[in-house]
Structure 1
Amino acid sequence: MPAQQTAKYLAGTKASAAFSDNNKVKLIRGGRVYFEMLLSMIEQASENIHLQTYIFAEDKTGTMVADALMAAAKRDVQVYLLADGYASQTLSKKFIDKLQRAGVHFRFFEPLLKSRHYYFGRRLHQKVFVADGRCGMVGGLNIADRYNDMPGIPSWLDFAVFIEGEVARQLCVLCWKTWNGFPVKMEATSCDDASRKFDIVKDEASSVRMRRNDWVRRKNEISATYIEMLRHSKSHITIISSYFLPGKIIRRLLRNATKRGVKIKVITAGPSDVMVAKHAERWMYDWLLRNNIELYEYQPAVLHAKVAVCDSEWFTIGSYNINNISAYASIELNVDVRNKAMATEMENIMEDIIQNKCLAITADGHVYTKNMLIRFIRWCSYQFIRMAFYMLTFYFKQRRR
């Protein structure tokens, strides 16, 4: 049975399993650095822009990005902004009308059924920006103040990667398909411009592949990446993950990896914006500690990052949380990067976070944080989260296209 379950995760991944070598990649820490990069890319775009995000907030950061998008549209850049219809539903009609009058093509990613009080359908959880089919960014950051460094308030911890090259072209095609609702047949887009060449210097090149999870479209590629990483790791894996609630398959692979001597470190949130998820995570701490997994809680602010690094050789980064909602209920986007120097850089950043900004969770220390009432609250939270994707998401099985 375990082998059959794992096979389901791997279904539909072969077509996009190959890495592309003609890419230049840069690791970006969240906060001000990310938004400065985003604004710069918007200002430099000359043909088209795609921004697809889970949350687009009508706050200072959202207004700043919206102003940049409108300025691009006014200089005849084709701008397409797609926001999730659930998470971004607070955008006012006035705000959207202003975008559209300036020439920005705006659309909500809509569920099957929706009102002010309920939402049935998968959510657009991916965060991707692409300019001119040439360069883009993929990560975990939404467009809102809490992901930016505001005066006196540190941003939530998050990461992204800048990509220039072949994978940026693939991201552009994906954005067009998502914008158009994945038509059966689609005419060539500006992403396919044959005159656009990528001459990446060999010393700056990275092997990259785009990875998607979308249950309706039978895409389980990010889940397959984590399975590959845990199955084939040789020495160590470091994971930084908000809402860390691995399902049975990932837990089994985590246990098997530690049994063969792989050292696994997991950084989770200390302060959390979703306390029921934090309680559920802490219910799992006993299992993780019993299986020799090192645990750390990030303390300065909310942790929102989603990165895993393996053997100082490669890493995966994007919107995918290690839980069943990301695995089964949302549209997610990651990229896998094979570059030893960058993987080592990411590991060093994570080790610095562990040493200077985390609280180590030990078996002895964890005992003193729980009594019968706290254990019951954590157990209830864990059971609720396990069932949440059934309650919050309705699946419409489409015909294979």
Structure 2
Amino acid sequence: MKTINAYFLILLLIGVVSLDSGCATLPNVSKVIDEAPTTRQSPQIATAKGILSPQNSKTIMERLKKSVNPTDILERHAAVVESVTESPLTKGNKVTLLANGQAAYAAMLQAIQRAKDHINLETYIIEDDAVGRTFADLLLQKQAEGVQVRLIYDSVGSLNTPTAFFQRLRSEGIQVVEFNPINPMKTHGHWLIKNPDHRKMLIIDGKVAIAGGINISSVYSSSLSGSRVKGSLLPWRDTDVQIEGPAVAECQKLFLDTWQKQNGPETSARNYFPDLKEAGSALVRIVGSTPGQDNRITFVVYVSAITFAEHSIHLTNAYFIPDDQILDAFTDAARRGVDVKIILPSTTDSSMAINAARYNYSALLQAGVKIYERRNAILHAKTAVIDGVWSTVGSTNLDYWSLLSDDEVNALVLSREFAVEMEKLFAEDLAESDQILRDKWERRPLSQRVKESFAHLFEQWM
């Protein structure tokens, strides 16, 4: 979600941004792939008790490979991701797809209600509306019960939320951190307005984690609420995932690292890393990105996964303004016969973002990529399922801000069963979408082409 006020604020501060980002570039993923080790037959797999032996890891991967058609997404891609992150691939996780805001909020509120030790919530946007106040009331209740509650919210994303909303939380004992405050007088170090915290992540007692693209806002709460676009009230369509098992510890590490970097106040010791038992059968890796060329892990993940796909790539993305490496990966995949389908929004809160995305349609369609635009909703999901076994749900948009400058988090799931659920959700969105046909697209009006070309000029600031 890109709030209008925050968006224009960022544009006004481009001069400040450019001082830090002028030399920033995305990593060369082809080089990363070439340098990744290829001698090991299977990726390292971790459990709650430690790293499995190579033989046991191989046995697990062989079992997974037998459930789908042959694909390099299970081994070569895993080796590339291992080369750029210390976050392990963990076994024994239960992964639950939360297909929309209603499902996500129900799961989040239930998890918060059950908390016994601590609640760590990190979000880009938390609004002072019916949903935001519901969360605030429950968090205050749990704090009063002795559960330690900590909140990280992004300064730009939550720009429209009144200070009084957060002061109420602080006054009752909740520890609240404003990520990279817009007001430079609030910072304790380098003022970096260009680096938002775009993560959405809830960790309960170190045992349950919920992550994805859903902010805390009433626009997601039902089909009867949403945002007005061109006079129509459109609901927001987004996706989260709930994780139970060893992978939760990796979400916790990301939260605690951000808390420390943002000079979060010290609190009483809690059991942040309890002994975790296996809760399911999914292999999960949690990947987080932070600013800096060496830390653009979600970018490497996406380019590598598309590169190694052999059968199908089914992707939904809210703000699709990719760099040349991602565009080339999609077009190369389509040309080698991979079924590439991409669902994008037909309307959103930023018309510039829509037009910048459409600038790339011709090249993608010419290569054989199938593009669809979701109708009757503002598509905000950031998900993909590849070769019927590899899935990701997270906060990462395929635009320059997410790929280059934001703090992001994605869950990577290796599971045939979970991929089936992801394919069902993709099919539901596909049924509510209109395909962009190449012949018709090439006959679009000149005025539309001008809008696309103009938006393209500013793509690195979207």
Which TM-score tier does this pair reach, normalised by the shorter chain? 0.7 to 0.9
Displacement of 1:301: 1.0
Displacement of 1:17: 5.6
Query: Aligned match of 2:436 in 349, 361, 379?
Result: 361
Check 1:233–1:222 CA distance in 2 against 1; reply closer, same or farther (3 A cut). Answer: same
2:447: which partner in 1? 373
SS in structure 2 at match of 1:120: coil
Displacement of 1:233: 1.0
**Segment of structure 1 superposing worse, 71-80 or 90-99:** 90-99
Whole-angstrom CA distance in 1 between matches of 2:171 and 2:363: 54
2:456: which partner in 1? 382
Whole-angstrom CA distance in 2 between matches of 1:27 and 1:243: 21
**Segment of structure 1 superposing worse, 267-276 or 153-162:** 153-162
Whole-angstrom CA distance in 2 between matches of 1:110 and 1:306: 24
SS in structure 1 at match of 2:359: helix
What letter corresponds to residue 220 of structure 1 in structure 2? R
Displacement of 1:40: 0.4
Q: Point out where structure 2 has 5 or more consecutive residues left out of the alignment.
A: 1-25, 34-79, 186-190, 227-233
2:57: which partner in 1? none
2:149: which partner in 1? 79
2:271 is equivalent to residue 190 of structure 1: yes
What letter corresponds to residue 297 of structure 1 in structure 2? E
Q: Is the 8 A contact 1:244 1:322 kept in 2?
A: yes
What letter corresponds to residue 85 of structure 1 in structure 2? S
1:248: which partner in 2? 324
Whole-angstrom CA distance in 2 between matches of 1:218 and 1:29: 32
Check 1:36–1:280 CA distance in 2 against 1; reply closer, same or farther (3 A cut). Answer: same
Q: TM-score, normalised by structure 2?
A: 0.76
2:123: which partner in 1? 53
Displacement of 1:340: 0.4
2:346 is equivalent to residue 270 of structure 1: yes
Q: Is the 8 A contact 2:287 2:298 kept in 1?
A: yes
Displacement of 1:14: 3.6
* Aligned positions of 1:274-289 closer than 5 A: 274-289=350-365
1:139: which partner in 2? 212
SS in structure 2 at match of 1:126: coil
Check 1:250–1:191 CA distance in 2 against 1; reply closer, same or farther (3 A cut). Answer: same
Query: Aligned match of 1:108 in 150, 163, 178?
Result: 178
Q: Is the 8 A contact 1:13 1:220 kept in 2?
A: no
1:395: which partner in 2? none
1:41: which partner in 2? 111
1:257: which partner in 2? 333
* Aligned positions of 1:208-227 closer than 5 A: 208-216=284-292, 218-227=294-303
Whole-angstrom CA distance in 1 between matches of 2:453 and 2:398: 19
2:278: which partner in 1? 199
Displacement of 1:259: 1.9
Check 1:316–1:199 CA distance in 2 against 1; reply closer, same or farther (3 A cut). Answer: closer
What letter corresponds to residue 66 of structure 1 in structure 2? A
Displacement of 1:220: 2.0
What letter corresponds to residue 276 of structure 2 in structure 1? K
Q: Is the 8 A contact 2:113 2:142 kept in 1?
A: yes
Q: Is the 8 A contact 1:16 1:210 kept in 2?
A: no
Q: Is the 8 A contact 2:254 2:288 kept in 1?
A: no
Displacement of 1:246: 1.4
Query: How far does the alpha carbon of each residue in 1:122-147 deviate from its partner, in whole angstroms, 9 at most, with x for none?
Result: 00001000000000101000001112
Whole-angstrom CA distance in 2 between matches of 1:181 and 1:384: 31
Displacement of 1:79: 0.3
2:401 is equivalent to residue 325 of structure 1: yes
Check 1:308–1:14 CA distance in 2 against 1; reply closer, same or farther (3 A cut). Answer: same
Q: Is the 8 A contact 2:318 2:345 kept in 1?
A: yes
Displacement of 1:243: 0.9
Q: Is the 8 A contact 2:117 2:270 kept in 1?
A: no
What letter corresponds to residue 125 of structure 1 in structure 2? H
What letter corresponds to residue 128 of structure 1 in structure 2? M
Whole-angstrom CA distance in 1 between matches of 2:182 and 2:102: 36
2:94: which partner in 1? 24
RMSD: 2.6
Check 1:66–1:7 CA distance in 2 against 1; reply closer, same or farther (3 A cut). Answer: farther
What letter corresponds to residue 231 of structure 1 in structure 2? T
Whole-angstrom CA distance in 1 between matches of 2:149 and 2:379: 31
Check 1:39–1:333 CA distance in 2 against 1; reply closer, same or farther (3 A cut). Answer: same
Q: Is the 8 A contact 1:11 1:220 kept in 2?
A: no
What letter corresponds to residue 446 of structure 2 in structure 1? M
Displacement of 1:373: 2.4
Displacement of 1:68: 0.9
1:96: which partner in 2? 166
**Segment of structure 1 superposing worse, 252-261 or 325-334:** 252-261
State how many pairs are aligned.
377
Q: Is the 8 A contact 1:11 1:219 kept in 2?
A: no
Query: How far does the alpha carbon of each residue in 1:87-146 deviate from its partner, in whole angstroms, 9 at most, with x for none?
Result: 11222232222111222111100158659xx97230000100000000010100000111
Check 1:157–1:244 CA distance in 2 against 1; reply closer, same or farther (3 A cut). Answer: same
Whole-angstrom CA distance in 2 between matches of 1:13 and 1:102: 44
What letter corresponds to residue 365 of structure 1 in structure 2? K
Q: Is the 8 A contact 2:27 2:293 kept in 1?
A: no
Q: Is the 8 A contact 1:13 1:221 kept in 2?
A: no
